[in-house]
Amino acid sequence: MKVLIVAVVCISSLASAADPLPSWNDTAPKRAILQFVEDVTKEGSATFVPVADRIATFDNDGTLWGEQPMYVQAYFALDRVKTLAPRHPDWKDKPPFSAVLKGDLKSAFSGGERALVELVMATHAGTTTEEFEQEVTDWIATARHPQTGRRFTEMVYQPMLELLACLRARGFKTYIVSGGGVEFIRPWAERVYGIPPEQVVGSSIKTKYEVRDGRPVLVRLPELEFINDQVGKPVGIHRHIGRRPIAAFGNSDGDFQMLEWTTGGKGPRLGLIVHHTDGEREFAYDRQSLVGKLDKGLDQARSRGWSIVSMKDDWNRIYP
């Protein structure tokens, strides 16, 4: 039944002859995508892939939305420090919190990974999962990027929204596979990307089941559970999805292993890297960037058959 329905959707969308990717210029990456889609959906062909195996995974930060000059989740954490400060009078003199409260981000982040983990735990743990979901929902509804003044959810990439829709219309299940926190992405991913919570894979902290006053809750603990980045991405994909994707989309070396794992399987495969080349409409960065560093991927994309999207040259539009 499901297969039939998807077939009908495909045929009708093809019949309409509308370009499914209007924000993509007619350059190599778009052609590679459309060729791949045609290959895997053409019934009876040697490259046909059944609907059940049409799994596509997308990195989030820098691939579906912006990540400069700082991950969106870092802005959330900093705002949470300010919100929670009245309940933590000791933060006034305690780094890295004191630096955050003074607006001195350079000092705040000078403590390296340890300071960062401390910030994340203080701002992401201690609540129930329902409370945290509400916090994220409330914050994302109003928070704005300090440079563009846009809401963060308006800084998603229109070409990628089109790609998500195009793949779904052709029977793909689309997943987010992010180094960011899974609970930070789920509350808005369905509305913004059309990706339901069960199709979001990400980093996580541990939770604990409790019954409070007769009400069952899951409490978020200040303890890392899983880092879904680099070699963690194939692990997270396998744990969560249990099949190897046939298409993967990323933008940094944190996505390297996800692309390697995806394109290392048999049959038609698509690996694609979004290269941030557009300093005018977005941000230009790659090998030297602290956030979203892309180095190994740039070197090896060609030999591995991965497409590289130059945002400046291959996208005629960035934001919706």
Binding site for a copy of itself (CB under 8 A): 1, 5, 9, 52, 55, 129, 173, 182-183, 186, 190, 196-198, 200, 204, 207-209, 211, 215-216, 218, 231-232, 234-235, 238-243, 257, 260-261, 264
CA distance 172 to 247: 10
Could you tell me the smallest distance in angstroms from the CB atom of residue 212 to a copy of itself? 11
CA distance 213 to 317: 52
Decide: 132 and 186 in contact? Cβ < 8 Å.
Answer: no
Decide: 223 and 205 in contact? Cβ < 8 Å.
Answer: yes
Could you tell me the smallest distance in angstroms from the CB atom of residue 211 to a copy of itself? 7
Q: Closer CB to a copy of itself, residue 129 or residue 158?
A: 129
Count of residues making up the chain: 320
CA distance 232 to 227: 6
Q: Which two tokens stand for residue 235?
A: 């692990």
Residue type, 191: R
Could you tell me the smallest distance in angstroms from the CB atom of residue 130 to a copy of itself? 9
Q: Closer CB to a copy of itself, residue 84 or residue 241?
A: 241
Could you tell me the smallest distance in angstroms from the CB atom of residue 73 to a copy of itself? 17
Could you tell me the smallest distance in angstroms from the CB atom of residue 148 to a copy of itself? 29
How many whole angstroms from its chain centre is CA 255? Answer: 10
Q: Which two tokens stand for residue 177?
A: 């596979």
Q: Closer CB to a copy of itself, residue 150 or residue 208?
A: 208
Could you tell me the smallest distance in angstroms from the CB atom of residue 214 to a copy of itself? 9
Could you tell me the smallest distance in angstroms from the CB atom of residue 127 to a copy of itself? 13
Q: Closer CB to a copy of itself, residue 5 or residue 290?
A: 5
How many whole angstroms from its chain centre is CA 214? Answer: 36
Q: Closer CB to a copy of itself, residue 29 or residue 250?
A: 250
Longest CA pairwise span in the chain (Å): 68
How do 247-250 and 270-275 pair as beta strands? parallel
Q: Which residues of 286-305 are buried (b: 16+ CB within 10 A; e: fewer)?
A: beebeebbbeebeeebeeee
Q: Closer CB to a copy of itself, residue 5 or residue 117?
A: 5
CA distance 171 to 44: 16
Q: Closer CB to a copy of itself, residue 52 or residue 290?
A: 52
